[in-house]
């Protein structure tokens, strides 16, 4: 399959940014002064204000405030580079819909790839919820623009995951060079890739939840295409709940199929594009993982957790809308309840240790995949998703499994130890998983250790990579991956609120502190 890690990166900062501004795909590969004063000598990686794709006074004020609380110079530098990275580099275009000048649109690229992933864009914008409190806030327009554009995408092609710039932008569609046969068919001038990933629905619902929770702006959700997007999500989800065989044993044709010419087994779906059979469980099928890799078993437990959580919170929004279709909020709650009950019945399994844990994927026939992947939603991220409390016994058992050699994708070494992904290779830890370990921990020592590992994994560039070799910080993939950068910034913002004493720790190597 075409891989993000190998994608060509020839994207300027964004529309409206001067042609004299550097290409961030190149800029982010080299160090720039001033370097931080700590042992890791981290590069300053923010473009000049005139070269940033969105400038927010609220974000700049928050950076200044939080940096005043951080004692470690390397942590301070990594925070100021990472938290604003999406706004600095990835807001490729902002405008309004051609048929309604009140409908804001915002096209957000992943970083080194000139396309908008539904899941990624939700996670890229989410870290700015910490400064969002009113519809009039400067970042509020970014939230609304992303939600509106995601809604458009999900109404037209709910089974697809990454999309081209809207026609209003004037930007030409890009090509990923792949050869695909997909059902339902799609327009390549509208869609970039069409891997059906359930967490795309979860991402849209999560961002909607974040915006409403922060602003209370109910009116926004009654306008434009948000309600239609919810209906599209429910329709596709019902179709993807269908088992492979009906009660009489007759084969049920899948609503979605995918085949591609690929060099990897994870780049296409087996069984003539239909993937492996699933049983009637109530779980929603997700043939592709959040990594864009094909699943082994299609019923992803983390993705279904995310759906159950955010269908419920978005049902509260729907219920408050004065002109919402009758029964739609209850339909959302019913599906959330069905999924949650199915997770209890099918997703909890007994590990080789004898303890009950959550499986990563199941098929309802007894097939199960005992692993975790670094990409969120993951089993490790279940409390971050709000699905359960971090003290939950089965979650704690699962966490113990995930962060051990019992998990085939746990990678450990002197540079960084955490969960990797078959999207890259064994031995390549994803910093995203180490950040998530800290975000789901209540132990200062575990949080501090995780931050130290991330700090020493950037090879001096001061940005979060997709993956890093556990034994060599200079061996990494994706120098410009804004989702992972935003997640690290989100960790620091979260610590400021719930455990600010960690920000006063030193993260310097002992030998450096002794000098």
Q: Which among 412, 382, 386 is positioned nearest to 397, based on CA atoms?
A: 382
Q: What is the pLDDT of residues 337-363, one digit of tens each?
A: 999 999 999 999 999 999 999 999 999
Residue with tokens 């097939």: 367
**The pLDDT value given to residue 512:** 58
What is the rounded distance in angstroms from the CA atom of residue 4 to the CA atom of residue 310? 27
Say whether 489 sits in a helix, a strand or coil: helix
Question: Which of 27-41, 115-129, 501-515 is least confident?
Answer: 501-515
CATH class of 97-369: mainly alpha
**The pLDDT value given to residue 262:** 81
Any idea what DSSP says for residue 42?
P
- Confidence band of 301 (pLDDT split at 50, 70, 90): very high
**pLDDT at 14 > cutoff 80:** no
**The pLDDT value given to residue 161:** 97
What is the rounded distance in angstroms from the CA atom of residue 59 to the CA atom of residue 190? 32
Residue 492: enclosing H or E segment and its boundaries? helix 482-498
> Helix-strand-coil percent breakdown of the chain, rounded to 5?
40, 10, 45
Q: Which among 167, 121, 146, 292 is positioned nearest to 229, based on CA atoms?
A: 146
**The pLDDT value given to residue 511:** 64
Whether cis (ω within 30° of 0) applies to the bond prior to 377 is yes
| C-alpha pair distances (Å), 400 with each of 380, 382, 395, 408 | 10, 14, 9, 13
CA torsion 344-345-350-356 (nearest 10°) is 20
Share of the chain above pLDDT 90, in %: 90
Q: Which among 241, 224, 207, 230 is positioned nearest to 331, based on CA atoms?
A: 230
Provide mean pLDDT across the span 8-21.
Answer: 53
Q: How far is C-alpha 503 from the geometric centre of its chain's CA atoms? A: 25
Q: Name the segment(s) of the chain with CATH classification 1.50.10.10.
A: 97-369
**pLDDT at 392 > cutoff 70:** yes
> Other CB atoms closer than 10 Å to residue 342's CB: what's the count?
22
| C-alpha pair distances (Å), 188 with each of 7, 155, 268 | 17, 16, 18
**The pLDDT value given to residue 267:** 86
- Confidence band of 180 (pLDDT split at 50, 70, 90): confident
**pLDDT at 182 > cutoff 50:** yes
**pLDDT at 2 > cutoff 60:** no
What is the rounded distance in angstroms from the CA atom of residue 397 to the CA atom of residue 401? 6
Q: Which residues pair with 193 in a beta bridge?
A: 162
| C-alpha pair distances (Å), 354 with each of 67, 231, 349 | 46, 42, 9
What value does the mean pLDDT of the chain take? 94
**The pLDDT value given to residue 13:** 37
Q: What is the pLDDT of residues 244-278, one digit of tens each?
A: 999 999 999 999 999 998 878 788 999 989 999 99
CA torsion sign for 501, 504, 509, 513 is negative
């Amino acid at each position: 399959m075409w891989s993000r890690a190998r994608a060509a990166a020839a994207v300027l900062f964004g529309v409206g940014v001067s042609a004299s501004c550097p290409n961030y795909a190149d800029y982010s590969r080299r160090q720039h002064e001033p370097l931080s004063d700590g042992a890791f000598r981290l590069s300053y990686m923010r473009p000049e204000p005139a070269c940033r794709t969105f400038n927010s006074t609220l974000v700049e004020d928050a950076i200044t405030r939080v940096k005043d609380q951080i004692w470690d110079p390397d942590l301070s530098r990594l925070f100021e580079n990472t938290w604003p990275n999406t706004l600095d580099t990835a807001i490729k275009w902002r405008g309004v819909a051609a048929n309604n000048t009140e409908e804001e649109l915002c096209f957000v690229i992943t970083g080194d790839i000139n396309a908008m992933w539904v899941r990624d864009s939700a996670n890229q914008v989410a870290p700015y919820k910490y400064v969002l409190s009113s519809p009039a806030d400067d970042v509020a327009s970014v939230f609304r623009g992303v939600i509106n554009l995601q809604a458009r995408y999900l109404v037209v092609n709910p089974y697809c995951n990454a999309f081209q710039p809207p026609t209003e932008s004037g930007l030409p569609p890009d090509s990923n060079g792949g050869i695909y046969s997909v059902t339902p068919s799609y327009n390549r001038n509208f869609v970039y890739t069409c891997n059906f990933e359930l967490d795309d629905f979860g991402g849209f619902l999560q961002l909607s939840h974040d915006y409403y929770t922060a602003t209370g702006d109910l009116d926004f959700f009654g306008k434009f295409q948000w309600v239609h997007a919810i209906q599209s999500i429910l329709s596709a989800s019902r179709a993807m709940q269908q088992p492979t065989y009906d009660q009489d044993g007759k084969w049920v044709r899948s609503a979605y199929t995918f085949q591609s010419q690929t060099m990897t087994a994870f780049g296409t779906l087996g069984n003539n594009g239909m993937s492996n059979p699933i049983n009637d469980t109530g779980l929603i099928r997700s043939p592709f993982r959040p990594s864009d890799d094909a699943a082994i078993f299609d019923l992803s437990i983390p993705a279904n957790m995310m759906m159950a959580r955010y269908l419920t919170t978005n049902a509260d929004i729907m219920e408050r809308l004065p002109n919402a279709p009758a029964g739609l909020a209850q339909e959302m709650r019913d599906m959330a309840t069905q999924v949650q009950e199915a997770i209890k019945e099918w997703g909890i399994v007994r590990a080789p240790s004898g303890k009950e844990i959550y499986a990563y994927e199941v098929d309802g026939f007894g097939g199960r995949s005992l692993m975790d992947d670094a990409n969120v939603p993951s089993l490790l991220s279940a409390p971050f998703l709000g699905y359960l409390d971090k003290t939950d016994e089965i979650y704690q058992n699962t966490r113990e499994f995930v962060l051990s050699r019992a998990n085939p994708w746990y990678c450990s070494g002197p540079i960084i130890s955490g969960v990797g992904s078959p999207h890259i290779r064994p031995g390549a830890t994803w910093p995203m998983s180490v950040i998530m370990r800290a975000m789901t921990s209540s132990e200062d020592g575990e949080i501090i250790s995780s931050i130290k590992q991330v700090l020493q994994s950037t090879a001096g560039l001061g940005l979060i990579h997709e993956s890093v070799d556990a034994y060599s910080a200079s061996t990494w993939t994706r120098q410009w991956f804004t989702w992972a950068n935003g997640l690290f910034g989100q960790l620091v913002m979260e610590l400021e609120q719930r455990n600010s004493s960690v920000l006063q720790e030193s993260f310097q190597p002992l030998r450096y502190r002794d000098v």
